[in-house]
Amino acid sequence: MRQHSHVLVCGGTGCTSGGCKALTAELKKQLAVNNLTEEVGLIVTGCFGLCALGPVVVIYPEGSFYEKVKVADIAEIVSEHLVKGKPVERLLHTEGSGDTEVQSFADTSFYKSQLRVALRLCGLIDPECIDEYIGYDGYTAYPKAVAMSRQQVIDTIKDSGLRGRGGAGFSSGLKWQFAHDAPGKQKYVVVNADEGDPGAFMDRSILEGDPHAVIEAMMIAGYAIGATKGVVYVRAEYPIAVGRLEIALKQARQYGILGKNAMGLKNDFDIEIRLGAGAFVCGEETALLASAEGRRGEPRQRPPFPAIKGMFDMPTLINNVETIANITQIINNGAEWFKGIGTEKSKGTKVFALGGKIKNIGLVEIPMGTTLRTVVEEIGGGCPKGKKFKAAQTGGPSGGCIPASHMDIPIDFDSLVSIGSMMGSGGLIVLDEDNCMVDIAKFFLEFTVDESCGKCTPCRVGNKRLLEILEKLTDGKGEQGDIEKMEKLCHYIKENSLCGLGQTAPNPVLSTLKYFRDEYDAHVCDKKCPSGVCKNLLSFSILDNCIGCTLCKRVCPVDAISGELKQLHTIDQAKCIKCGLCVDKCPKKSIIK
């Protein structure tokens, strides 16, 4: 029998920490109470994308989008919506103004401008059920690929114009060709799921929401380059992604879809999982291979590239999760279809993890060439509390900032590089007027200094020295010439580091210097932080229009404020710890930074 409704509960990492497991249990209970277990399907899916509104529940056939659902709401959803067909309006997603509930989630401005290719089935199927993947045309691309010659498969990928989504944007087809052409007894296909950029969760969400798409694509890649072994290198700290991938591999083997002569086709391929311990440098391909082989995760000089000499010195194809998630659809729909999406030199779509000062924090997939404005204002819903957009940080610790003046730039590999940022793996952190750019550069540099493996001196020592200068600036001890010294050091580190980590580590500093030099100057010359973030450069004072309400005095944790009722208050600068509590409390806005 066909079930009349399907209840989809988001089981991504965000919604899981929001308590979706308890929701699922309660749904199960309430469905049983209302005698609906047979008629209503309950499916735990991967990420829907709107993580800020989680836990998310979507009910089909209506497509009703319920946000921030609590256990206490479940009984009402079941008895009203599922029994009587009346959606519970108070829980439906609302757009901006807050007065119109959006009945169907396909109509939200968050989803309207998106195009889901890599995330096609995320939030639509149960990732722990292989049948559902098969039902949505899963495992049709592999037989199709095996019916072609190896070279034909590679040519299709080359034609499609697919470029690596891990950050560098190298042609995937060419990479496949190199691995195919390289001689070697045992070749490998490795998928890089060591996603480490702060605020990025694209690859992890694909593994959580649609693991079979990755497995099938690896099988295709294995056939194309002549590899019989595949490895997924994934972080142990992503337990849901690892768990679902393990289940998917087990089910695929049970069905005879993976393994020797799978599906009765003459080709061997099997996949194993290697867990990473969470070192950022292991996202770099040579360090990843070292770690996957069981050695210390340190990069080595390239060339030789992994396509020639990779895993156990054998020809190895390394692709990022998002890159490989496009493969089955390129095979099924053809290179021409994929070429039709995107810009001249960047084809297809890109997944971004939206974070920072933005309303709709979550996961979005857009066609290449979409402007930053569309992503931030339309899909992301703009900065909360009506604050002014200042910049977007792309590419994480290796990337740079895009200032508000470049908001209409189309997002693709080459345009982002032309303005001093980079696509990166897909983290997109939105900064508003309250963010200090020097502080942001410091944050990312702290991260790379922590994560530097220490093998080469420019990265190990250079970045540390760079960070020290930044700390000097934010402490108010900056001197004339510091900025110039930093610039020189940045270029030195970029030119001399061994691997991508060091070569890109100074990017956040360089790009903020390029667009926000005035903020650096203010830190050095005026000893001021224009955004009011760097505490050592702040001093709070009370204006004459103070009404003496004593609110600030009462909230101050260190008793730095003195003054009688209805008298002008004053702040003792020696005691003040610059916590800002008084600023938030003052009804007359008399306290300024």
Partner 1 sequence: MKTLNELQEIRKQVKNQVANRGIVSNSATNIVVSMDTCGINAGAKNVLKAFNAETYRLNLLDIIIAQSGCGGDCKLEPVVYVTKDGVKTTYANITPEKAVRIINEHIVGGKIIKEFINA
Straight-line distance from the first to the last Cα atom of the chain, in angstroms, rounded to the nearest whole number? 67
Does 264 engage in binding with partner 1 (CB under 8 A)?
A: yes
The reply on whether position 239 binds partner 1 by CB under 8 A is no
Q: Cβ of residue 15: shortest distance to partner 1, in angstroms?
A: 19
139 binds partner 1 (CB under 8 A): yes
Residue with Cβ nearer partner 1 (331 or 428): 331
Enumerate residues 39-58 that contact partner 1 by CB under 8 A. 39, 41
Nearer to partner 1, 215 or 317 (CB): 215
134 touches partner 1 by CB under 8 A: yes
Distance CA 213, CA 207 (A): 9
- Residue 266 touches partner 1, criterion: CB under 8 A: no
**Binding status of residue 112 toward partner 1 by CB under 8 A:** no
Query: Which residues from 70-109 bind partner 1, rule CB under 8 A?
Result: 83-86, 104, 106
Give how many residues touch partner 1 by CB under 8 A.
38
Please state the closest distance from residue 131 (CB atom) to partner 1, in A.
Answer: 5
Write out the DSSP string of 309-356: S-GGGS-EEEEEHHHHHTHHHHHHH-HHHHHTSB-SSSBSEEEEEEEE
- Tell the smallest beta-carbon distance from residue 117 to partner 1 (Å): 19
* Total Cβ atoms within 10 A of residue 103: 16
Binding of residue 256 to partner 1 (CB under 8 A) = yes
Q: Which residues, 368 to 387, sit near partner 1 by CB under 8 A?
A: none
Per CB under 8 A, 33 contacts partner 1? no
Identified binder of partner 1 from the candidate list 76, 89, 131, 237, rule CB under 8 A: 131
Q: Which stretch binds partner 1 (CB under 8 A): 94-102, 129-137, 151-159, 215-223?
A: 129-137
β-strand 591-592 against 270-276: which pairing, if any? unpaired
Give the one residue of 19, 29, 42, 60 binding partner 1; rule: CB under 8 A.
Answer: 60
The answer to whether residue 144 forms part of the interface with partner 1 (CB under 8 A) is no
* Residue placing its CB nearer to partner 1 in the complex, 84 or 185: 84
Residue 374, SS3 per DSSP: helix
283 contacts: CB under 8 Å, gap ≥ 6:
166, 192, 194, 195, 196
**333 is a contact residue toward partner 1 (CB under 8 A):** no
> Mask 272-311, x = binds partner 1 (CB under 8 A)?
----------------------------------------
Separation between Cα atoms, residue 131 and residue 570, nearest integer Å: 70
Phi, psi dihedrals of residue 42, rounded to the nearest 5°: -115, 115
Query: Between the CA atoms of 494, 499, 502 and 504, what dihedral angle is there, to the nearest 10 degrees?
Result: 60
The CA distance from 17 to 552, in Å, is 36
Nearest distance, CB of residue 34 and partner 1, angstroms: 11
* Helix axis angle, 150-160 to 211-225, nearest 10°: 120
Query: Cβ neighbours of residue 268 under 8 Å, at least 6 residues apart?
Result: 228, 259, 260, 261, 262
Using the rule CB under 8 A, is 454 a contact of partner 1? no
In this structure, what DSSP letter does residue 66 have? E
Q: Nearest to residue 354, comparing CAs of 547, 580, 541, 199? A: 199
Among 47, 69, 114, 132, binds partner 1 (CB under 8 A): 132
- Closer CB to partner 1, residue 121 or residue 522? 121
Binding of partner 1 by 263 (CB under 8 A): yes
Cβ contact 394:169 at 8 Å: no
Instruction: Please state, in angstroms and rounded to a whole number, the distance separating the CA atoms of residues 116 and 366.
Output: 7
CB of 534 to partner 1, least distance (A): 49
Question: Closer CB to partner 1, residue 4 or residue 112?
Answer: 4
- Reference 293, options 302, 285, 301; nearest CA is 285
Residues that bind partner 1 (CB under 8 A): 1-6, 8, 39, 41, 60-63, 83-86, 104, 106, 124, 131-132, 134-140, 143, 255-257, 261-265
